[in-house]
Structures are given as C-alpha cells and as structure tokens.
Chain A
Amino acid sequence: MYRFVLRRLLSGVLLLFVITTVAYVLLYAGGGDIARRIVGPTATDAQVAMKSSQLGLDRPLLIQYWEWLTKALTGDLGRSWFNGQLVSTGVSSRLSVTISLVLGAVIIAALISVVIGVWAAVRRGWVDRLVQFVGVMGFAIPGFLIALGLVSLFALNLKWFKATGYVPMTTSFGGWAATVTLPIIALSIGCIAAVVQQIRGSLIDALRQDYVRTLRARGLSFNRVVYKHVLRNAGGPALAVLAVQFIGLLGGAVIIEQIFALPGLGQITVAATGQGDIPVVMGVVVATAAIVVIVNLIIDLAQGWLNPKVRLS
C-alpha cells in the first residue's frame, strides 16, 4: 500500500514538473514579441529592447527558466508586469473562491448522481428513460448558457439572489451561500448529467454480473447487494468520470465567475490573458496543475481502496 501511494505521489510531482516546464517554455519562447505586445505597435525598436531587458526577457530561455524554477520552489512566482503585485498573493487570494465553487459543485454532483443513478439503474422503465433524456440535455447545454438562464430568471426577474458579487465564507456563511448558490448550480448540472450517465451505465453492467445472483442466492437482500457490492464495483468508473469533470469544472469556472462577477482564479486569468501578463498566467497554470495533481492523487487512492487489483499489482 505504501509503495502504491509513493508511486502515485512521485508520478504526480513529475506531472507537475513537466506541465510547468512545457508551459514556461511555450509562454516565454516569444521573447521580443512579448515586449512588443506590451509596449504597443507604435513603440520604437529601442523601446521594445528596453522593455525586454527590463523584464529580463533578453537572457537565454534556460537561464530565465532556472531562475523562475528555483524561486517557484520557495513559493515565489514573481510579480505581475502590470500592477507589480506578487503573483503568489494574487493567485492564492482568489484560489479559495474558485475551489469553493468547484468543490461545492463536485460534492453536490457526486451525491445527487449516486441517488439518481441508482434510481435509474434499478427501476429502469420510464424512470430510466426520463433520467437519460434529462441527462442528455444537461450534458448538451453549455454550462455558461445555464448560468445566463439562472441569472436572468432568479436574479434579474425573480430577484431571489444577488446577480453578482461575493461574500467570503469567513465574513458571513449565509452571505457566502447566497452568492455561490447559483454559480454552483450552473456548474454542477453538466457534471451531474455526465456522472449520472456513468453511474447508471456501470451499475447496469454490474447488476448483470454473475456474482450478484450468487450473493442473492446466499440470502442477501437485493438492496444490500446493490449498496454494498454493486455500487462499490460501479464506483471505479464513476470516480474516473468525476475526476475528468473536476478538471473540466476548473475551466468552466472561468466563465461562470465572469458571469457572476466572482473574484476567483477566472477573473485574474481573463485579465492577465487580455494584457499578456505572462507571470500571472504562469502562476495560474501552476496553481491549476497543482490542483489537478492533488485531485488525481485522491481519486487514485480512492480507486485503490475500491479495487484491490489496482492496490495489489
């Protein structure tokens, strides 16, 4: 078991390293062009060169990277080129908003999907067909369209919620809940649709397995077999989909935050992208990759717990 965890941990660290390296090279390879874009098309070549050397972009890429990496390992991700703020502070202050959104959506999605998935797989018939149809719709409609719909219906017309803004959880839990409810709903609908499909599918497969009949023949009730044995066996593929969804939600959150004007990672990303503020973009990439690596590690451990073959091989 320790070796299993250790191996996963090492591969996660390696993944983080590779992603950041590739991202750095791609982002900074432009050298002079970056400086040109910042100072604008009307600037003289001398101005571009000056900007370039001011930002350290005129040095060899490898040296720039080495400097960035050694600093990054100490938690220093540099400063924004535009407002001079520390990237690490800028990113971490917004990280909590994004994570609370995404985590909230994933947890809600996981709970609801299990209930609906089991319902559809066990009852079949019209229940199943209804769940499948709604699921396809939820999956097909892009999350930001759902968000737009929610804003115009609940916030603009019914005025149940505030359309925009954010209250930190530490200030007021109620206020926090009121500001994140609509975004979380918007994010989770697509996620629920995808996970329900997977849980339903793998449950139906698992219910057809021979051991279900054998366990029932030994005197275990249908419900006990479903909740203890079948769900556990169907859990692996569902977890894998959940992991993919989590990564997708990190991207989806960018747009959702924009719609609800939430001060999350998305906002800083959009601003930095528009300006070409590369240190900040790099900081966002590091943060996202770190989250992805941690999530994958947790999912891998959960898979190992569910499936002894994964754990013991």
Chain B
Amino acid sequence: MTGAPLPLPASAAKVSLFRKLLIHPTGAVSLLVLFLVALASILAPVLAPYDPNASSLKDVLAKAGSEFLLGADSAGRDVFSRLLFAGQFSLAGALVALTVALVIGVTAGLIAGYHGGWFDTVSSWLTGLLMALPGMVVLLAARAVVGQSMWLSMVIFGVLLSPAFFRLVYASVTAVRNELYVDAARVSGLGDVRIIGRHILTVVRAPVIIQSAMVLGIAIAIQAGLEFLGLGDRTIPTWGSMLNDGFINIFKAPTLVLWPALVIGLVCVALTLLANAMRDELERSRGPVKKGRKAAPTGAENASEKRGNAAVVHAEEPSSNHGELLLEVTDLGVGYDQPDGSTTDVVHHVNLTVRRGEVHGLVGESGSGKTQTAFSILRLLPQDGRITGGSILFEGRDLAHLSEKEMTKVRGKRIAYIPQEPMSNLDAAFTIGSQLMEPMRVCLGISKTEARKRALALLAKVGIPHPERTFNSYPHQISGGMAQRVLIAGAVSCEPDLLIADEPTTALDVTVQAEVLNLLRELQEELKMGVILVTHNFGVVADLCDRVTVMQSGRVVETGPVRAIFNDAKHPYTRKLLEAILEDTAPRGPLVTAGTPRELNGVTP
C-alpha cells in the first residue's frame, strides 16, 4: 500500500462545447447571426412598422425610402415587416421538420443499433426506401394530396429527413455497443437503460447536435424552395414566398428578390459554419485519437539530455562480421513540425551502422524513436515529420539529402521494408499478385510475364503452399501469417542490399512468429542482406541479431554485439529492460491455501 503514486502529466482543463464555440471565430459569428435572426423574428410584432399582410394598391412596388424601409412588394406590402414576420414562420417550420426528424431518427437509431434483430432489418430497409426518392419530388407529390399547408409539408419533410439521424445514431450505437467499456458496464450489472444513458447517449449527443444544425439549414432551404415554386401557403408570409414575388418582378424591382435571398443565404451559411465549428472543436478536444507515438518530454529524457551523447558503446568481438559497411547513420535527428511553427524532436543524435550480411537489432519501448529512425532511413516519415540533422550514408550517398526522385529509385531496389501489421499493409483493392508484380515491373523494368513468373517463384520461396491460388487472391482472403509472408516476398522481390524490418513478427501468433523468423534468417543468409530489425522483443533479438542498439526517448543509450548487450549491459535502462524479461523467472507453483489444510478438504461435512 505504501508504494509512491505514479506521477501524472498536467491536467487539460475541461471546457464545455458552448464555451469553446464562443471563442471559435466562425463559431461565435455564426451563433451571433442566428441569435439576432431568431430574436428579430420573435420580436417581429414589436419591431415591424406595418402589418405584414396589409396591402395597398397605391404602394405596389414602392421604392425603399423613409416610408418603407426596404420598399413594398407587388401587393404593396411592407417588405421589412414581412421579412420579420416571415422569419417566425420559416424558422418554426424548419424547427417542426427538425423535431419530427430527431424524434423518429434518434429513437429508431437507438433501438435498431442497440437491440438489432428484426427492428434493425426493418428500419434499415425503410431508411433505404426514404432515401431513394428526392425530397423535393416527394414533397410535391404530397402537396398534390394534402394541400398547401406549410406545417404538414414540414412534418412530411421531417419524416424524409429522419434517416439523417437514424444512420448517424445507428452507426454510433453499433460502434459503441461492442466497445469494451460497455462490456465492463454490463459486467458491473448496469441495465440497458443505464448503459444507453451513460455510455451511448454521451457518444451520440455531439454528432446529433452537429447534424441538427445541418438539417435545420436543409429544412429552411427546402421550405423556401417549395414556397418559391408558388406551391406554398399564400396566407402566411415566408422567406420563400417573398422570393417568389421578387423573382416574378425581377425586371421591375430587382432588389425585391435580394432581401429574402440574403436572409436565407445568411441563415443557411451560419448554420453550416456553426456545424463545422462544432465539429472542429469536438475533434480538437478528442486530441490525438490513436497512439500518436511521439515521445513526450519526460524526466528521464531531461536526465539523459544532461548526459549528452553518453551512449555505452561495446567493443567489437574478434569473431564479428567484417563485411563492407553498408549504412552509416551519423548524428541523425528527426522532428515533427507543430502547427505553431515549432518543431518537436523525437530522435536526437542517433548513430548507427549496418554491415553487409549483418542483422542489427534496434530495441526500445514505445516512444523510444526506433521506428522513427527506421522510417527516416527510408525517407518515409509521416506527414509533418522531417530529418532535422545528421547524415545517412548509403553506398557513398547521403540519403538525408537525396531528392525524392532519386530516393524513389533507392527504395525497393536497394533498401526494402517489412512492416508490422500484415493486413493493413496490403492494398485491399488489388490482388496479391498484382501488388507483387507492380513494384518489380517499375524497379526492374521487366515484362508482365517475367514479373508473374518471378512473383510465383517468390511466393513458393517464402513457404506459401499454393502460390498460384494466393497470387490470384485478394488480401482479405488470406490469413495474417500468409499476408506477412507475402509482404516479405515483396520486400525481397528486387533483391535489396538493406532490409528494414519494423516489428515484423509482433502481430503474429508465437508459432507463426517462429516460422517467419526462420524464413527471415534463410533469406538474409541467401541474399547477404544487411538488416535493421526494429523490435521490443528480446527473444527475437536473441534469435536473429548480430548487433543491438538500445534506444530510449529518441536517443541511443547502448550499442554493441548481441552477446555483450545480453551478458554485460552497462546502461541502467538496458538493465532495467533485461530485468523485466519473464522467460527465466520461476513458475509461481501450486496454490497454498493458508488455514485450510488440503487433507481436510475432502472430509468436511
């Protein structure tokens, strides 16, 4: 109980979405515009100088001026007053559509997503049906039957819009339903209603609000469109009917069409911008979603900073490989450009050499910079990442300063790469065969028949039982172990000099791992390749590597022949890692039950 609590990083303050919107530039402006339009509509009876429906023949198409602020329309009604009152009806109509869509869509989405079964089948099918016809055509057809009531049209449109919410909620719920934290809540004995309330509604809430803003915009646009066609309710003023009147008189009074168009445009743009601002803020607050493996500056790093480049370097063994020097990385730095213009360094002053025929293990925990180092040699760092210093000498050329065009010629043919995840590293849209042939044809400039022959031979070589069948398969049709063999085949297809393998067996089962390790050893010996093997597994290191470099927080802490590292580690971090290995620990042994002697158990009544 007395162990010191682990230190925590500084807390990020929790701010509500609404507050964030007030600071967000477009969010704040959009909110303000919508608020003012809504306020003006609500206060129309107070603000409007005239009755919106009071027409007078003498004022037909009156010019804007002191009597009519924005002029009068074709019936001599005050445009400004109509604009204000129309806001009431247009906004209320859109709200009716939104409410109907929300109620139907969210409820059905929750039930279908959470319980599945027949309700799921039926509602998904109905959704497809509702989305099959353009809303405008359905509304017009409905108009032929139900008449010109704006409210009824908006209720029907609400039904037509409900799939927008149904699909959103359904997708979120089905995604969340299988999350482990929902399983944990079930194990804790929470009922369905509680789980939906606590875990599912919280996830769905924000996207639904965003979608609501979009839907409101669409409803206003469609309603205005319907009224614009002259099919709306003539007894109430709406923005759409004003637009209609303006368009009819566009030659006589061109500004008449301007005001309602401006208001409709403004409201629609404000709603869309608001939705976008909310999405922005939501994505930002979620932060780096996946394991954005950037080394965070920690206390350990600061300590090693003071030590400078004090990496432990072990002497060469007399028997070690004296092949030609293939790769020499000197003083390599890698950094990521941040949005604020600064650069976060993730690899500092790394030195690394690989000789022909040598397997060099690059070992470290997550955030150690081992993968970043490997990617920088390939010059395939992720977006915003770049080499900030040092050199990467390969056959007398500095890869760090090669043009992208020249680098493309080096990759594949001279330096090849084996990734970690077998499945995600194959393009699902192409057959295994075509993915093997394409780089060979580009790099070696061989014909299609020749490439096909070589690809089949390679597949056989990496131990795939039916090369022809696998050649014609798509990635989703083969197992993970097979996929990793295909990737290895692809990596060695152009007989490279240097192979960079990034955790090549981590995603595999242990029995498959043993076979893949064997395959890598055979290929390495046959092709006399130099290999950089990035791994966190000391078993894999012991199996394959001749030399080892241990990295921590973007720095090399220790490097040397494999036996020196295992038997004579000097750096405290290397020792800590080696101590954490479990392979040699004793088994826990059988359970000793204190207090209840075993012999008595059988005879207790």
Contacts and interface: CB of A to CB of B under 8 A. Distances in A.
Interface of A: 15, 18-19, 22-23, 26-27, 30, 34, 37, 124, 136-137, 139-142, 144-145, 148-149, 151-152, 156, 207-211, 213-222, 224, 228-229, 232-233, 244, 247-252, 254-255, 258-259, 269-270, 272-274, 276-278, 281, 284-285, 288-289, 292-293, 296, 306-309, 312
A288 B144 contact: no
B261 A145 contact: yes
B408 A217 contact: no
B265 A145 contact: yes
Contacts of A274: 230-231
Contact of B380 (A141, A216, A232, A247): A216
19 contacts: A19-B133, A26-B141, A136-B273, A140-B269, A140-B271, A145-B265, A152-B254, A156-B254, A215-B427, A215-B439, A217-B500, A218-B416, A247-B133, A250-B136, A258-B229, A274-B230, A281-B144, A284-B141, A289-B133
Which 7 A-B pairs have CB atoms at the shortest separation, nearest pair first? A219-B412, A251-B136, A251-B134, A140-B272, A217-B417, A218-B439, A142-B221
A297 to B, nearest CB: 12
B379 to A, nearest CB: 9
B228 A272 contact: no
Interface residues of B, number: 78
A241 to B, nearest CB: 13
Given A140-B271, A278-B144, A219 B134 contact: no
A307 B428 contact: yes
A203 B363 CA distance: 33
B380 A307 contact: no
A308 B424 contact: no
Contact of B409 (A37, A219, A284): A219
A222 B404 contact: yes
A237 B427 CA distance: 16
A141 B429 CA distance: 36
A308 B421 contact: no
A218 B411 contact: yes
Contacts of A258: 228-229
A102 B517 CA distance: 58
Given A217-B411, A247-B133, A124 B383 contact: yes
Contacts of A288: 133-134, 137
A251 to B, nearest CB: 3
B235 to A, nearest CB: 16
Contacts of B411: 216-219
A219 B490 CA distance: 11
A296 B247 CA distance: 35
Interface in B234-259: 243, 247, 250-251, 254, 257
Contacts of A270: 140, 229-231
A140 B144 CA distance: 29
Contact of A276 (B144, B228, B247): B144
B476 interface: yes
